[in-house]
Amino acid sequence: MRLNDGDPGFKHQVAAEPGGAGLKACFACAACTARCPVAGHLPEYDPRRIIRLTLLGRREEVLASPLIWRCSACYSCAEVCPQQVRFTDVLTAIKNLAARAGCAPPAARAGASLLAKHGRLLPVGEFENEKRAKLGLPAVEERPQDFQRLLGMAPEGREPGEGPA
Amino acid sequence: MVNTPPSTPILILGGGVAGLAAAVDLARRGLACTLAEREPALGGRARDFCCKAVSACARCGACRLADLLAEAAARPQITIYTQALATSARPAEGHGWQVELAPAGPAAPLPIGPGQPLPGRVSLAAQAVILAVGPQPFDPAGKSSLGYGRVPGVISALELEARLVQGAWEQRPAPAKLAFIQCVGSRDQSLGRLWCSRVCCGYALRLARLLKASRPDMDIAFFHMDVQDYGRAWEEELAGLRREMRFVRAMPGEVAAGAGGPEVVFALAEGKQMREAFDLVVLSQGLGPPAGAGALAQMFGLARTQDGFLGRAEEPVAAGAAGVFVAGACQGPRSLTESIDHAGLAAAAAAAYVASTKGAGRG
């Protein structure tokens, strides 16, 4: 690996994303990796390595890696980190950059479509609302508009630029 | 009736190595001073430190306490009070300080080493004050993921020192497999302790080498982030130490109770998670500001460093109040030898201050 091949701006770009600022405080102590339940099952998933690669400017390697989508967001890493890096949040920043670079995996895109269409990842239909009515709970309405705006997606999961529905 | 001395040129608070070194340094200059120690015996934390020499001196400084105690006891210029606590202080007229000392607890039945218990409340006029109250080691229970006080077989580095001083493993078998975990209570933003304690790499590696010398087959793992410079020729020493023990560049995420002893959960360099059992896990606790730093700072109107130590980080011995000086690890993390050297600097500054105020305001 040639250090000169790295993109020195990459770490700043990640740090500028919401939640990404903790990246630069990392000591590389690997307490996160030691405590991570995903790393316990998937040895190639190594939070310390993802942070090091990011700091070294390995933009393509990080953004295209399928491993950055493996985090279960349990925040065990944030719990043990002596530097309060909050790796889960740093990884969210990295994933946002990856999605903008077109590197989001199909599952993430499918999730975005569901959000744009229903405003939820699990669609709520008559079956659920009947059950809620029996329990005396109000019916759940689907309000996808906020997500459509956030995701820049038109209703029915159309990508922007595909024309009006 | 006790005839209490009404004044002293220099009052030293704290009778550990720094306070003793300051007193001895002043006495060698021919200056009288009064040393007030809170505990029944002088020596402070250094009393519980073992000599770490293997084939040659490890320059840990533990032996220097005995020399300092002997010289402090022999110098007629030094008045020593034990079980003496400073309760209040106010600037004296002109210059200097009026300090109230009170007995700390009931007098010990027998004198322990040099000095006499404070006979009662004493109001002492001092032209200068040296604070040498020492650091507060981090309580490892504050880093709960490492299991101290909860997981059997997890001890603090100070407890290991005490065991070695007492010769605990000369009667029964020493542990065969041992782990040191560094930076416990140091460089840890989640604990609000951002500083490096500077002494832990040195004492842990010297303790590890001492144990290896008595039991060469002992398996020692050293969990760390990086090794800090801990004194002369440390890099040459390190090369040898790397062959004698396992240097693991990872901070454990957890120490859990296991059937075969405490289990350390950590990540290998390539990211693989490991769970390894040890006979004993030693937590290398860092040094923090003294517990009474806030009270002392209020008493004398002192400055405190960003990390809460006494005085100013950028000035070696000035405490931020006229005529008050700081010596040793209450000003910032220091080893024994560094504390002794620092106390010499504080003594020189205090002596110069006393000389500069001679005649001024007393005419």
In-domain check, residue B122:
yes
The structural domain count of chain B equals 2
Residue type, A164: P
In-domain check, residue B362:
no
**What is the interface size between A and B, counted as CB pairs within 8 Å?**
72
Whole-angstrom distance, CA of residue A72 vs CA of residue B199:
38
Provide residues of A within 8 Å CB-CB of chain B.
25, 27-36, 39-40, 43-46, 48-49, 76, 79-84
Contact B273 A27 (CB under 8 A): no
**pLDDT tens-place string over residues B127-158:** 999 999 999 999 999 999 999 999 999 999 99
Q: Which domain holds residue B203?
A: 139-287
In-domain check, residue B68:
yes
B23: domain CATH number is: 3.50.50.60
Q: Of B250, B270, B287, which marks where a domain is finished?
A: B287
Q: Of B272, B287, B302, which marks where a domain is finished?
A: B287
Query: Do B250 and B297 belong together in one domain?
Result: no
Matching residue, tokens 């209040």: B88
Query: Do B151 and B64 belong together in one domain?
Result: no
SS3 content of chain A, % helix, strand, coil (to 5): 55, 0, 45
Partner-chain residue, chosen from A27, A44, A80, that has the shortest CB–CB distance to B253: A80
Query: Do B276 and B311 belong together in one domain?
Result: no
pLDDT recorded at residue B359 = 62
Quick one: which of B153, B147, B98 has its CA closest to B255? B147
pLDDT recorded at residue A163 = 42
Query: Do B323 and B278 belong together in one domain?
Result: no
Split chain B (363 residues) into runs of 10 and give each run's mean pLDDT.
Answer: 68 97 97 96 92 89 94 96 95 92 84 85 95 97 96 96 84 86 95 95 95 92 93 88 95 95 95 95 97 95 96 91 96 96 97 86 44
Q: Of B259, B287, B315, which marks where a domain is finished?
A: B287
Domains assigned to chain A:
3-100 (1.10.1060.10), 106-157 (no CATH)
Query: Do B282 and B143 belong together in one domain?
Result: yes
Partner-chain residue, chosen from A33, A76, A83, that has the shortest CB–CB distance to B267: A33
Mean pLDDT in residue range A38-50:
95
Query: Do B11 and B44 belong together in one domain?
Result: yes
In-domain check, residue B277:
yes
Query: Do B83 and B154 belong together in one domain?
Result: no
In-domain check, residue B79:
yes
In-domain check, residue B24:
yes
Give the side-chain half-sphere CA count within 13 A for B208.
Answer: 32
* H-helix or E-strand spanning residue A116: helix A106-118
Residue type, B27: A
**pLDDT tens-place string over residues A121-149:** 888 889 999 999 999 999 988 888 888 88
Residue A162 banded pLDDT, cuts 50, 70, 90:
very low
| B34 Cβ contact list (under 8 Å, min separation 6) | B5, B8, B10, B11, B12, B78, B79, B80, B81, B124, B126
In-domain check, residue B1:
no
Query: Do B241 and B279 belong together in one domain?
Result: yes
Whether the Cβ atoms of residue B204 and residue B282 lie closer than 8 Å to each other: yes
For the record, the structure tokens of A84 come out as 């309060």
pLDDT recorded at residue B171 = 67
Query: Do B237 and B272 belong together in one domain?
Result: yes
Predicted-assembly ipTM surpassing the 0.90 threshold? no
Whole-angstrom distance, CA of residue B80 vs CA of residue B70:
13
For the record, the structure tokens of B360 come out as 């001024």
In-domain check, residue B363:
no
Query: Do B143 and B273 belong together in one domain?
Result: yes
Whether the Cβ atoms of residue B216 and residue B184 lie closer than 8 Å to each other: no
pLDDT at A158 over 60: no
pLDDT recorded at residue B78 = 96
Checking B159-163 for CB contacts under 8 A at 24+ apart, the result is B160/B207, B160/B282, B161/B48, B161/B49, B161/B50, B161/B203, B161/B207, B162/B48
